[in-house]
């Protein structure tokens, strides 16, 4: 029965709270937000599960990277989100560890006319600390520090602004946002 | 009391997810207008259907909602939207800017500075700043893609040629992070300086035109101007007749048919707070308090 458990028990209220955490994360890059309420099957983290429950549904194509392409996760997503699974280059959302999502250059970055038609990567991490990158840009008053799996890919992603993919890094019940608008520098 | 015949905050969950995805893309590309599948709302277009949908997608049960219409908490539009969310969301409402976590606004930014943790939701009639210069959506989309904003500067220049100054006084176009030219909705240009560097999240919803756009906190927002005609935030050259404030944005109220008039703060909460703190203006002497 594991397929049927682990979703939101009060979907409207819990997804509203989860969205506000994701919104704050995306609007204030580098600031870690708490995101709980979901109990998805391992290795999917509660935070990533909550992101899926809040944003992903029948109308969004989801790519599962090899790290997260397990029968349990497929069943859980099929039951709770109903998102059609797809290849990486056609995905609206992608889920996996940073290593499993490589090469990230294959994800949609939008078009000059429609930069919003781009992928959102849900990147599963072991931890969101210690900081190894300095962030500047919209949403950040002066600068913010964050733990990123690498920096060069995000420098390249920002260079094509307003095109680019957007990232949500998740670990346990924590989420950290990195939109394409953020300038990233290794420290 | 929540009306249990409705889902929390009225909209169904699939619609909220769709709006939430659009808001997040708007945050990621500040100033870019994200298309979204705007729904029919139980109010006519032009009454804030875009703002209401964005507010519905953002509200949590713990939020305190404030709704203003041209600064006022007590007009029909503001009262009915507040009641709408009291009934369908069961959220607390307030008229005090400082107590609100979500503020839906029509055509004003509150006088009191916003803070982190607040969301300001604008009702937007025409989201496209270039629309009155170029009616074709296919063309304006291309102009945004190519960052081709010369036409907007021509329009401001023609203002100067005709009137000696930039006469655009509301919906004054801004450039966001050096990239997109954005319509800040019909707020007076007096409010433009508050758009940039604001610690709150600013979201813009246009229901009829089906667009959502956003300004994350501390975004760089520059009002378009020329070196020799710099942007000036203007207001009526008076003090508020009720609270005496010399720095707030004023409404002019005609009081009789013989030329009588008064100027009052357009932000009613700001004006009332000042008066209850003892400030007085020309038409509210101490003994009237």
Using the predicted structure, report yes or no on whether residue B2 has a pLDDT greater than 60: no
Task: Say yes or no for a CB contact (<8 Å) between A181 and B177.
Answer: yes
Give the pLDDT score at B5. 82
* Neighbouring-strand partners of residue B221: B176
State the total domains in chain B.
2
Confidence label for B289 from pLDDT (cuts 50, 70 and 90): very low
Residue B57, chain A, CB below 8 Å: the answer is yes
Does residue B51 fall inside a structural domain? yes
Last residue of a domain, one of B196, B219, B242: B219
Q: B199 vs chain A: nearest CA distance in angstroms?
A: 8
Residue B193 makes CB contacts below 8 A (sequence gap 6+) with B223, B233
The domain spanning residue A131 has which CATH number?
A: 3.40.50.11310
Using the predicted structure, report yes or no on whether residue B288 has a pLDDT greater than 70: no
Residue A28, chain B, CB below 8 Å: the answer is yes
B175 and B266 inside one domain: no
Residues of B in contact with A60 (CB under 8 A): 21
Confidence label for A1 from pLDDT (cuts 50, 70 and 90): very low
Q: Which residue of A has its CA nearest to B6?
A: A12
Q: Kindly write down the DSSP assignment for every residue of B168-210, as one continuous string.
A: --BS--EEETTTEEE---S-BGGGGGGTTT-SSEEEEEETTTT
Task: Say yes or no for a CB contact (<8 Å) between B26 and A11.
Answer: no
Of B243, B244, B245, B281, the active-site residue reads B243
Confidence label for A110 from pLDDT (cuts 50, 70 and 90): very high
- Residue A19, Ramachandran bin (φ over 0: left; ψ between -120 and 50: alpha; else beta): alpha
Give the pLDDT score at A36. 87
B72 and B213 inside one domain: yes
B73 and B176 inside one domain: yes
B197 is catalytic: no
Using the CB atoms, write b or e for B62-93: b if 16+ within 10 Å.
ebebbbbbbbbbeeebbeebbebbbebbbbbb
Nearest Cα neighbor of A121 from A157, A155, A147 is A157
B240 is catalytic: yes
Residue A5, chain B, CB below 8 Å: the answer is no
How far CA A179 is from CA of A68, A74, A135, A145, B54, in Å, comes to 22, 27, 11, 14, 20
Residues B107 and B186 sit within 8 Å (Cβ to Cβ) = yes
Nearest Cα neighbor of A128 from A172, A68, A98, A165 is A172
Confidence label for A5 from pLDDT (cuts 50, 70 and 90): confident
The token pair at B128 is 């496209």
B253 and B205 inside one domain: no
Residues of A in contact with B60 (CB under 8 A): 13, 16-17, 20
Residue A159 makes CB contacts below 8 A (sequence gap 6+) with none
- Residue A46, Ramachandran bin (φ over 0: left; ψ between -120 and 50: alpha; else beta): alpha
B281 is catalytic: no
B46 and B179 inside one domain: yes
Residues of A in contact with B177 (CB under 8 A): 137-138, 181
Minimum-distance CB partner of B7 among A12, A58, A60: A12
State the total domains in chain A.
1
How far CA A50 is from CA of A20, A36, A57, A174, in Å, comes to 12, 7, 12, 10
The domain spanning residue B98 has which CATH number?
A: 3.40.50.11310
Give the pLDDT score at B287. 57
Domain coverage including residue A160: 2-186
Nearest Cα neighbor of A8 from A65, A59, A53, A55 is A53
Q: What is the mean pLDDT of residues B82-106?
A: 96
Please give the angle made by the CA atoms of B80, B235 and B93, to the nearest 5 degrees: 25
Q: What is the mean pLDDT of residues B236-246?
A: 94
Percentage of chain A lying above the pLDDT 90 cut: 94
pLDDT in tens, B9-31: 999 999 999 999 999 999 999 99
B255 and B207 inside one domain: no
Task: Say yes or no for a CB contact (<8 Å) between A113 and B141.
Answer: yes
Using the predicted structure, report yes or no on whether residue B46 has a pLDDT greater than 90: no
pLDDT in tens, A13-44: 999 999 999 999 999 999 999 998 999 998 99
Q: Compute how many other C-beta atoms are within 10 angstroms of the C-beta atom of residue A97.
A: 17
Does residue B225 fall inside a structural domain? no
Residue B180, chain A, CB below 8 Å: the answer is yes
For chain B, state the CA radius of gyration: 20
Helix (H, G, I), strand (E, B) or coil at B231: coil
- Starting from the edge strand earliest in sequence, which strands make up the sheet with A183-186, in order? A144-146, A133-136, A183-186
B177 and B277 inside one domain: no
Residues of B in contact with A161 (CB under 8 A): 29, 179
Domain coverage including residue B274: 234-282
Percentage of chain B lying above the pLDDT 70 cut: 97
Does residue B52 fall inside a structural domain? yes
pLDDT in tens, B181-220: 999 999 999 999 999 999 999 999 999 999 999 999 999 9
B210 and B95 inside one domain: yes
B245 is catalytic: no
Nearest Cα neighbor of B119 from B67, B50, B179, B79 is B67
Does residue B4 fall inside a structural domain? no
Residue A71, chain B, CB below 8 Å: the answer is no
């Amino acid at each position: 029965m594991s397929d049927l458990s682990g979703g939101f028990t009060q979907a409207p209220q819990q997804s509203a709270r989860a969205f506000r955490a994701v919104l704050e994360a995306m609007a204030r890059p580098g600031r870690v937000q708490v995101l709980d309420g979901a109990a998805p099957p391992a290795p999917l983290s509660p935070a990533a599960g909550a992101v899926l429950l809040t944003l992903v549904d029948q109308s969004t194509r989801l790519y599962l990277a090899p790290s997260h392409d397990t029968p349990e996760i497929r069943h859980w997503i099929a039951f709770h989100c109903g998102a059609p699974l797809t290849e990486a280059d056609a995905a609206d959302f992608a889920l996996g560890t940073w290593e499993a999502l490589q090469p990230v250059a294959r994800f949609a970055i939008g078009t000059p006319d429609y930069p919003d038609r781009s992928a959102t990567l849900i990147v599963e991490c072991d931890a969101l600390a210690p900081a190894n990158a300095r962030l500047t840009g919209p949403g950040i008053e002066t600068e913010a520090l964050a733990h990123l799996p690498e920096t060069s890919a995000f420098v390249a992603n920002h260079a094509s602004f307003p095109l680019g993919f957007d990232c949500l890094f998740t670990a346990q019940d924590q989420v950290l946002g990195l939109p394409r608008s953020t300038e990233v520098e290794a420290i | 009391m929540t009306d249990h015949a409705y889902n929390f905050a009225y909209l169904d969950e699939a619609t909220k997810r769709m709006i939430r995805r659009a808001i997040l893309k708007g945050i990621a590309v500040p100033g870019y207008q994200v298309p979204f599948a705007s729904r029919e709302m139980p109010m006519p277009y032009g009454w804030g259907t875009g703002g209401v949908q964005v507010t519905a997608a953002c509200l949590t049960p713990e939020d305190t909602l404030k709704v203003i219409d041209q600064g006022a908490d007590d007009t029909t539009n503001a009262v009915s939207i507040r009641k709408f969310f009291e009934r369908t969301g069961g959220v607390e409402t307030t008229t005090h800017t400082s107590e609100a976590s979500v503020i839906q606004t029509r055509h004003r930014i509150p006088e009191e500075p916003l803070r982190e943790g607040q969301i300001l939701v604008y009702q937007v009639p025409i989201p496209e700043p270039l629309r009155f210069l170029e009616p074709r959506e296919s063309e304006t989309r291309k102009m945004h893609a190519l960052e081709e904003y010369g036409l907007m500067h021509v329009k401001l220049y023609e203002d100067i040629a005709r009137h000696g100054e930039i006469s655009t006084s509301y919906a004054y176009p801004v450039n966001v992070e050096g990239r997109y030219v954005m319509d800040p909705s019909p707020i007076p240009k007096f409010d433009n300086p508050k758009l940039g560097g604001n610690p709150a999240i600013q979201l813009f919803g246009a229901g009829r035109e089906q667009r959502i756009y956003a300004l994350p906190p501390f975004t760089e927002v520059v009002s378009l101007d020329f070196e020799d005609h710099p942007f000036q935030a203007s207001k009526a050259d008076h003090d508020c007749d009720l609270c005496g404030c010399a720095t707030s944005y004023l409404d002019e109220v005609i009081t009789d048919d013989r030329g009588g008039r008064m100027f009052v703060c357009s932000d009613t909460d700001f004006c009332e707070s000042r008066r209850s703190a003892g400030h007085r203006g020309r038409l509210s002497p101490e003994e009237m308090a």
